[in-house]
Amino acid sequence: MLLGSDSAQGNGLTDSLIIVSVDPNTPSVSMLSIPRDLYVYVPGWKMSRINTAHSHGQSAGYPGGGPGLLKATLEYNLGIRVHFYAHADFNGFTRLIDTLGGVEVVVDCQLQDTFPDPDAEGGQTDIDLMPGVHHLDGKTALWYARSRWNTNDYDRARRQQRVLRGTWAQIKQLGLLAKLPELWDELTQTVQTDLSLDNVIWLASVAGRLDTDTAIKSRFIDGTVVTSWVTPEGAQVLLPDYARIGPLIAEALAPPDTNRARQGLARVEVFNGTTWSDWGVLAADRLLWEGFQVVQIGQAERADYQQTLIVDLTGTTKGSPVYWLARILRVSGANILTAEAPSDEVDFRAIVGYDYQPCYKSYWFGVHTTPTPTPTVTATP
C-alpha cells in the first residue's frame, strides 16, 4: 500500500491511499485508489474514516504501528491482504520528484487553484493547468495531486495516479532501476517502508519487464460503489456498498484476462484533427488507461475536424470492441466509419476533433459494462 500524509511520523491523516498489486508472470501492475472518507471498522477501535487508522495505530501502539493497523483494516473490511507498505509525507514526495528532475504529467482536466507557498512573494502561488502534457516540479506535482478546490476526492485519486505514472516514466527514462542498490540509503530517508532492499531489487526486475503502456492498470473506489452518509456526529463519510465493491476490487487487483492477452489488444492509431497540439496525446492516453494498444500518435491530414471520428479497419464486426472504443471517446454511431480496405497493421483509427472532451470521470460500473450496439456507417474517410 502506498500512503501519503502531511506527517513524516505518521501522526497525520493518510489522505492518499493506493493499493498496488504486482503480477510477476504477465508481468503487470494494478493500482486501486481508496477514498480517504471510506467509513470502515478499524479493528480494536471503532467505526471511522479509513484515513484515521494509521494515526490511531501509531498512537495506540498497535503491532506494526500505523501501517500494521491500516493493513488489518483493509483486510477486515475489503478483503485485501497487504504484504508491504511505502509511506511518504509532503516534503519527502517533493524531494523525490525534484531528485528525478520533475515529471511529465498528462493533465486531462483543467485545474486552477491557489496554494500556500512560503517561497513566493505574498506567501501563495496560483496554479493554472490546461489540458495537455505538463512538466511539473516537486512542489507543483504535490499541489496537482492534493488540490481540492472545485474538485472531489475521486478526481484527486485520478490525479495522484497520473503523477505516479509520470514518476514511473521518469525513473525508466533515467535508468534508475539498475541503480537502486546505491540509491537505497538515500531513498529510505525520504520514504518509510517495510520493504527490504532484496524485495525492492526483485520488484525492480519485474518492473524492467513492463514493456508496454497497457501493463499498468488504474482503478478507483468511486461513487458507483459507495453511498454518501452523515454520521450521528455530523461527519460526512462514504459507506461501502459491499455487493458492488467486491467485484470492483476483484477485477482491479487481478492480472489481465488471459484470454484477452492471448487474442491481443485492439490496436489503435490516433491522429489529431485540430490545431490544439496535445489533443491527440490526450485521447491516446485515455485509450491506454482502458487497455487499448496505441500504435501511433500523429497529426491528421487537416486540422479542421469538428467531430471525432472512428474508422474501423478490421473488416469484421465479430467480437469487435468498436462500440467500447466509441464509448470511451464519446463518439456517436454516425461517426463510426468502416474502411473499404481493411488493414493488417492496425484495427482502428481515431481522428480527434474539436468536440473531444479530455476531462472525464472514471466510474467503474458506468464504464466497464457491455455497451448497447449502435449502427455504423460504411464510408471511406
The CATH number assigned to the domain holding 30 equals 3.40.630.190
Q: Given a cut of 80, is residue 227 above it in pLDDT?
A: yes
pLDDT of residue 150: 66
pLDDT, tens digit, for every residue of 247-288? 999 999 998 764 444 445 799 999 999 999 999 999 999 999
As a whole number, the mean pLDDT across the chain is: 89
**H or E element in which residue 229 lies:** strand 226-230
| 364 and 299 housed in the same domain | yes
Q: Given a cut of 90, is residue 377 above it in pLDDT?
A: no
pLDDT, tens digit, for every residue of 8-51? 555 679 989 999 999 999 899 999 999 999 999 999 999 999 99
- Whether the CA torsion 369, 375, 378, 381 is positive or negative: it is negative
| 209 and 325 housed in the same domain | no
Q: Given a cut of 60, is residue 379 above it in pLDDT?
A: no
Boundary residue ending a domain (194, 228, 253)? 253
226 contacts 239 by C-beta, under 8 angstroms: yes
Which of the two residues, 188 and 371, has the higher pLDDT score? Answer: 188
Rounded distance, CA 108 to CA 358, Å? 5
Q: How far is CA 82 from the centre of its chain?
A: 19
CATH number, domain containing residue 360: 3.30.70.2390
pLDDT of residue 374: 39
| 271 and 177 housed in the same domain | no
From 293-302, 307-316, 372-381, the region with the lowest mean pLDDT:
372-381
The domain tally of the chain equals 2
Which of the two residues, 324 and 151, has the higher pLDDT score? Answer: 324
Question: Does any domain span residue 258?
Answer: no
- Residue 196: which domain range? 2-253
Q: Please compute the mean of the pLDDT values over residues 311-326 and round it to a whole number.
A: 89
pLDDT of residue 381: 42
Which of 18, 55, 20, 59 is CA-nearest to residue 35? 18
pLDDT, tens digit, for every residue of 77-98? 999 999 999 999 989 999 999 9
